[in-house]
Structure 1
Amino acid sequence: MESSKLLSVPFLILCPNTKNRSSIHDCIFFFLFQRQETTQLGNVSSSERVEVEEKVVSPKSVDNRALRRSSSSNNANSPRYMYGYVLNRQRQDERLKRGGKQKSVVILSYFPFSSVFRPLLQILGPLFFDIGKRALEQIASCVSAWPSPVPGKLMELP
């Protein structure tokens, strides 16, 4: 029987902060999820749902464009949960102190569109790991041009 460990993965968030986090940590969002003990290397994806406060982070901590985008969705009718879709890349390298390294890419959304975000993450993650920030910017630009989803309607995305 495999044991599990509780893993805390920090990443930057440009909108609401979580409960029990304050002051300087307003921009850091923490996921806690179960990870199975395994020696599997490569890309591993998972998703998680967490509750969020309806409070916007301090303008001192993020640039104005990001703050305007996040505050537009941060009203009384906004969802209480954020959904995170995570792709982890694990590489073994005996030259490193811990015997390897791990990188993660996270997509955050107020909506549980796993059938969109999981495949997107499978494309986005490896491109970001191999090419860097430029790949992330290009994909974000394409995604921002997508039409809004309509319940019950099948969409074709580029």
Structure 2
Amino acid sequence: MEITRHGTAIMTNGTPTAIGEKLPVFTVKDAQGRSLTTQDLSQRLTLISVVPDINTRVCSISTKHFNEDMDAFDNVDFYTISTNTPQEQQTWCAAENVKKMQLLSDQNADFGKAMGLFVADNHTDARSVWIIDDTGTVKYRELITEQTHEPDYTSALAYLEAHQH
């Protein structure tokens, strides 16, 4: 898929998973370095915010935004996935006082490659927002084609509001 960063075209490794499809098999790491799989992230309604690099402005803004929104959704899991290491993510969380949002590391690009989001040119995953149900089926997705733009928080949160149990 073609996306842009500051207007310059870059390519992901494939076609992103479509609405109605199951999440592909992948593994990411949590803050303690434990491996989590597709199945671990498919326990209930889940929002996954994918950011290229947690240490950049827009990635930081969007992660803090969703972190603040989490309180309104008791029955929804929220994750942010980036290609940063677990240590880089922990350092960012401490510096930004983000305590609720779980950051997951895709430093090996397993998630990004499986989802068709991996950008080999800069070893990041394309900015996107995913909502999956408890069967691991994609119910909502936003592919942010200009990577310096923020996601449409309102639409993602409205979907969660309408579908949380």
TM-score, with structure 2 as normaliser? 0.29
> Which of these two proteins has the greater Rg computed from alpha carbons?
1
Higher relative contact order (CA 8 A, sep 6+): 2
TM-score (structure 1 length as normaliser): 0.29
